[in-house]
Amino acid sequence: MVPALTLLLGCQLVGELIVRALGLPIPGPVLGMAMLFALLLWRGTIWAPLGQAADFLLKHLSLLFVPAGVGVVQHWDLLQARLLPLAVTLVASTLLAIFAAAGAFVLVQRWLNR
């Protein structure tokens, strides 16, 4: 499992280095995972240890949210002071995403029925 985790973290590191070196407007880990995806497509199969490492990480994904929860508790006073704007933004963005997805679905459905 160590080589598979090294591959995952190595892809993330290379993505981060490329983003910082070129000043790209995307997160480095996203570029790293895109590179890993391209590598897997080129290879044609998933390396068994990589699949096992991914399954292990997915099984324990909730542990990765602990630092975020600690940050929320630690900065609760700041969040509480801005609770209304945050709540409005969350609700509005969720509704906008739902309407955009529904609109895209309707457009594709009409396009396919032509």
How would you label 87-104 residue by residue, b for 16+ Cβ within 10 Å and e otherwise? eeeeeeeeeeeeeeeeee
What are the tens digits of pLDDT across the range 34-78?
Answer: 999 999 999 888 888 888 988 888 888 888 778 888 888 888 888
pLDDT above 90 (res 16): yes
Q: Would you put residue 46 in left (φ > 0), alpha (ψ -120 to 50) or beta? A: beta
Does residue 98 carry a pLDDT above 90?
yes
Given a cut of 90, whether residue 108 has pLDDT beyond it is: yes
Chain-centroid distance, C-alpha 93: 17
DSSP 44: -
pLDDT at 13 over 90: yes
Distances in whole angstroms, Cα of residue 26 to Cα of each of 12, 15, 111: 13, 10, 32
